[in-house]
Structure 1
Amino acid sequence: MIFQNIEFYNVDELAPFLGGWQLNRYPKQVRQHMIPGAYRAEMAGGCEIRFVTEAPKASVTLSANEREGEVVVYRGDYFHSIHRLQAGAIQTITLEDNPYFGTVRSEDRIETRYSGKLWRIFSCDFRLAFYHLESYGFGHRPPAEDEAPRLRWLAYGSSITTGSGATHTAHGYIHQAARRLRADVLNKGLPGACMCEPEVADYLADRNDWDLITLEIGVNMRGSVSSEEFERRADYLIRRVTSAHPSKPVVVLTIFPNFSTYEKNESISGVREAKYNGILRRLVQELDLPNLRLLEGTAILTDFSGLTADLIHPSDFGHTLMGENLADALSDIIGVDLV
């Protein structure tokens, strides 16, 4: 989305908010069908504010709505700074060129995905509002086509896909893998609310701005959704996306190892998790489509100690490990070399 000559990446809607604009990852017509995901769909996790300017200094005015949150700033692929926004306060962050950035020969400054001219303000998972960009007499513009990756990856899933458990959302396994694949991620993860509603399936299938999609589904549904209902929703989601995009890779992920996977005493969640994984394997096998693949969660999170102490969300180490393993698997599927 382009607004005020700025790209709001992974943003489907800019909603008026107290004189500013709240960054929503899902449009209202989809959010109204998401229970309990409507609130989570307004979180800006994985959204970016992107612009290019010749100004040596720029200021961006933002606010964290309801609760505090952090934004991570990059200059292209290069980490620049982290800024914590206090809940309910309108704050201005200042972006300045590092004096050494321009001293390196451009041909020797490795730019694997993004142009070094591109400012990227990456939001962690909270409700974020944008107010103003000040470039102090210099102009600004959204990135050109050759200043960002051509490969677009649409990622649907739980809080794990969003990046929960990592020190920062930007360190999540999806973003770790994307770095290695030279991909640009459209992260549509929904913490605690990835429920595979038919309206969400239609929304994902109707998008035409992606080249690869991963579906990390099941873990949020196992506590409240029967195996029969899960199968109906998963079947509709997979069929809808594959039929709408028969030439694009659709990758289904089974549930990553967690406390229910190896539980001592049987629980509803543990039983359903096993059934859900079996359903996903069978659906993919029965559809037998050339663009549809299944990856086992155990092949992605290969070390149980990669989880945090809640034994559900990966740690920084876990996300890094998962990103490496997923990138390896996807590179074979889509036929790209890793960085």
Structure 2
Amino acid sequence: MEHQGLYFHNVAELEAKPGLSGLRLQRFPQDVRRTLTDKGRIKAELSNGCEIRFVASSRIARVIVGAAEEDGTALVYRGDFLHASHRLRAGMPETILLETPERFDGVEPAALGGSGFSPDVWRICFDRFAAVFYGADAYGGELRPPAPDEMPRLTLLAYGSSITQGAGSLNHANGYVQQAAQRLGLDAINLGLSGSCFCERGLSDFIASRRADLVFLELGVNMRGQVPADEFEARAAYLLDRLADAAPGRPTLLTTIYPNRATRSRYEADAFREEELKFNEALRRLCSEPGRAGGEIRLVEGTEILGDFAWLTSDLIHPSEYGHIRMGERLADALRPGLTALLESRTAPV
């Protein structure tokens, strides 16, 4: 989405709230948010993975942003390079002053290319809080959205629980989805929903409508004890079918539930463990059905991504910062075959 010479990445809607200044960065449109669970409507307003991107004609620019209900952190990058971290206080607009790093002028341009972002692109990246945009200018210079060749060429879309949303990492940039995307030189659209990944039909339709070159899905953990196994399977099937209809042949990776407290429960009658086993079998069935998602859907076991129980925090459900980084490495490895096939298909002679 573009607005006032800026590109808003992972933003489906810039929402004005009655009686309040600024525009909220929403990952989901209002009509989709209204169809979610009570908790889902709250978590859907978090701006994790949203970015404000632009190129300034002058060496100095400023962006005025803020946090809505609770404090949050914004990381500033110049291209692929971390530039600054700003703590935003709830209800208080903050002006972020930006100046082209002087040392960039003294190195070979090729050294600044990194993972796909031009070193001319400013990026304001938001963590898991409701971010608000108030304005931006270049002190008389011009602001423009980055050109396509100034950003990663391919995009990964991810949908899942709080784990996919980045819970447990100290900042969103170290969440495992963002880590995997960076390792592969991909842009990331993160549509994780903490405690509320329920594959509602309206949400599935919206996800399918988003442009992306690869898709990663982490389903099931939030629906244990909330949705019967057959209903979970039907919801997951609908999402997979909608994704396949929207982009036949697109590489799609689906994981079973990551190891957690229930997985390793010492009690034979643990209801969550029983549900988890049923849900995982449902995911395996969906992936084994001939023709599902045009044959491009692949299953990875959750134990292959979260390979060590000690990668969890003490709540035994969310990965730690270290866990997210290790999971990002493994997710990148799991996505690489699909990415390679995609690139080969696009360069093959016709």
| TM-score normalized with structure 2 length | 0.93
Q: Work out the number of aligned pairs and report it.
A: 336
User: Match for 2:103 among 82, 100, 103?
Assistant: 100
**Which residue is 2:50 aligned to?**
47
Which runs of structure 2 are paired with 1:194-213 in the superposition (5 Å)? Answer: 194-207=197-210, 209-213=211-215
Q: 2:184 aligns with which of 176, 181, 186?
A: 181
Structure with greater strand share of residues: 1
Q: Which residue of 2 aligns with 1:298?
A: 303
Displacement, 1:253? 1.1
1: distance between equivalents of 2:199 and 2:111?
45
1:217 corresponding residue in structure 2? 219
- Mapped partners of 1:272, 1:221: distance in 2: 9
Q: Choose the corresponding residue for 1:72, options 67, 70, 75.
A: 75
Judge conservation of contact 1:59–1:133 (CA < 8 Å) in 2.
Answer: yes
CA distance in 2, matches of 1:108, 1:33: 46
1:62/1:109 CA distance change after superposition, 3 Å: closer
Instruction: Map 1:178-327 onto structure 2 (within 5 A).
Output: 178-207=181-210, 209-265=211-267, 266-289=269-292, 290-327=295-332
Q: Greater share of helix residues, 1 or 2?
A: 2
Q: Please give the residue correspondences for 1:48-197 in structure 2 after superposition, counting only pairs within 5 Å.
A: 48-197=51-200
For residues 287 and 78 of structure 1, the distance between their equivalents in structure 2, rounded to whole angstroms, comes to 44
Contact residue 64 and residue 94 of structure 2 kept, 8 A: yes
* Other-structure match for 1:8: 8
Report the CA distance between 1:288 and its aligned residue.
4.3
SS of match in other structure, 1:107:
helix
The whole-number CA distance in structure 2 between the counterparts of 1:268 and 1:181 is 38
1:315 Cα shift? 1.1
Distance 1:215 1:247 in 2: 16
| 1:180 alignment partner, SS class | helix
Aligned twin of 2:29: 27
Check the 8 A contact 2:112/2:118 in 1, yes or no. no
1:186 positional shift: 0.8
Pick which of 193-202 and 243-252 moved more. 243-252
Give SS of 1:126's match.
Answer: coil
Provide the C-alpha distance between the structure 2 equivalents of 1:285 and 1:304, rounded to a whole number of angstroms. Answer: 27
Q: Deviations over 1:146-191 (max 9, x none)?
A: 0001111111111111111011011100111101111001111111
Give per-residue Cα distances to partners, 1:227-281, cap 9 Å, x unaligned.
Answer: 1211121121112212332121121111111111101123222211111011100
Aligned residue for 1:335?
340
Q: Pairwise CA RMSD of aligned residues?
A: 1.4
TM-score by length of structure 1 reads: 0.96
Q: How many angstroms does 1:65 deviate by? A: 0.5
CA distance in 2, matches of 1:157, 1:108: 35
Matched to 1:164, the amino acid is A
* Amino-acid identity (%): 46
- 1:181–1:336 Cα contact (<8 Å) kept: no
Q: How far does the alpha carbon of each residue in 1:186-211 deviate from its partner, in whole angstroms, 9 at most, with x for none?
A: 1111111111101111111223x111
- Cα displacement (A) at 1:109: 2.8
Structure 2: which amino acid aligns with 1:6? L
SS of alignment partner, residue 33 of structure 1: coil
> Separation in 2 of the partners of 1:172 and 1:153?
14
Q: For residues 82-131 of structure 1, what are the alpha-carbon distances to aligned partners after superposition, in whole Å with 9 as ceiling and x for unaligned? A: 11111111111222222212211112334221001001111001111100
Deviation at 1:336, TM superposition (A): 7.0
CA contact (8 A) 1:115 1:148 kept: yes
* SS in structure 1 of the partner of residue 275 of structure 2: helix
State the alpha-carbon separation in 2 of the partners of residues 336 and 291 from structure 1. Answer: 10
